[in-house]
């Protein structure tokens, strides 16, 4: 086992292979097409193939075929073995020596901070922010941001939210930069709600926030009549609402972060109509 762990650490020692692994971790439990990986990381297909083979060779990722294309997914048990090995070796299994690995985030008697991230912060992340804000105001401080903010929330997103009875005053499109840096909000949960944001290499967040990818189709990309476009926003609202309801229904012990992470990953794997 030790040799396998060291081989995995060596494979991750290359910055591009680490970037590839981190992208697949952000997209877990989804299996991502090779073409999308190459585009997100700006790699030639031949170069990507070499990196994928290196990670697969040490058991960190696995390959799946979907029709005529190849998709790749992290082998989560392999990643956990690395953490377990380092924890037992470095901390000798004693959480007091490595407090960040044995943190008590879930036991803190305070409202937790949640942020939903998308590219433009004009539709899906705005919908998610408002739905969770109004569903559990006593439990969460809720935010949203964009990696490349559009400037204003989409008018149809605001229209649907207002029709659903939400207060839309003060909503705006925000940059991710507002929430990072020395004065940034310490997040407990980070959710990406579009594939583009999940694929981007964002700065590391302080602490150990739990993350999930809850990608849904972009309603702003839908064309057609006004009624068809609005229907897309209603669908996006309902899909996000279903995910947030599932998130709030988590009933395992609150200090079981592993169970919570599995629950969040399962929510991300829900079909769009669930």
Catalytic residues: 118, 194, 202
CB 48 within 8 A of CB 37: yes
Judged on CB neighbours under 10 Å (0-12, 13-18, 19+), 271 is exposed
- Residues 6 or more apart whose CB falls under 8 angstroms from that of 137 comprise none
Which residue shows structure tokens 């008590």?
104
CA distances from 39 to 47, 60, 73, 75 (A): 12, 21, 16, 22
- Residues 6 or more apart whose CB falls under 8 angstroms from that of 66 comprise 31, 33
CA atoms of 105 and 258, how far apart (whole Å) = 12
């Amino acid at each position: 086992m030790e040799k396998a762990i060291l081989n995995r650490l060596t494979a991750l020692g290359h910055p591009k292979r680490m970037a590839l692994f981190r992208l697949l971790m952000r997209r877990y439990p989804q299996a991502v097409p090779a073409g999308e990986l190459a585009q997100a990381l700006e790699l030639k297909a031949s170069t990507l193939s070499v990196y994928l083979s290196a990670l697969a060779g040490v058991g960190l990722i696995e390959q799946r075929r979907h029709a005529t294309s190849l998709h790749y997914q992290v082998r989560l048990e392999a990643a956990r073995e690395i953490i377990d090995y380092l924890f037992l070796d470095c901390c000798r299994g004693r959480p007091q020596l490595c407090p960040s690995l044995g943190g008590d985030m879930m036991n803190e008697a305070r409202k937790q901070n949640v942020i939903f991230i998308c590219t433009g912060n004009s539709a899906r992340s705005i919908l998610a922010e408002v739905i969770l804000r109004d569903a559990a105001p006593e439990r969460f401080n809720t935010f949203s941001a964009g990696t490349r903010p559009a400037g204003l929330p989409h008018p149809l997103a605001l229209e649907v939210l207002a029709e659903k009875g939400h207060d839309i005053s003060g909503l705006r499109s925000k940059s991710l930069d507002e929430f990072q840096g020395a004065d940034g909000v310490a997040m407990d949960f980070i959710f990406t709600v579009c594939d583009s944001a999940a694929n981007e290499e964002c700065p590391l967040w302080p602490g150990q926030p739990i993350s999930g990818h809850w990608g849904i189709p972009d309603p702003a990309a839908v064309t057609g009549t006004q009624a068809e476009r609005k229907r897309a926003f209603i669908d996006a609202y309902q899909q996000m609402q279903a995910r947030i309801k599932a998130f709030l229904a988590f009933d395992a012990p609150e200090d079981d972060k592993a169970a919570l992470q599995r629950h969040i990953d399962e929510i991300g794997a829900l079909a769009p109509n669930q």
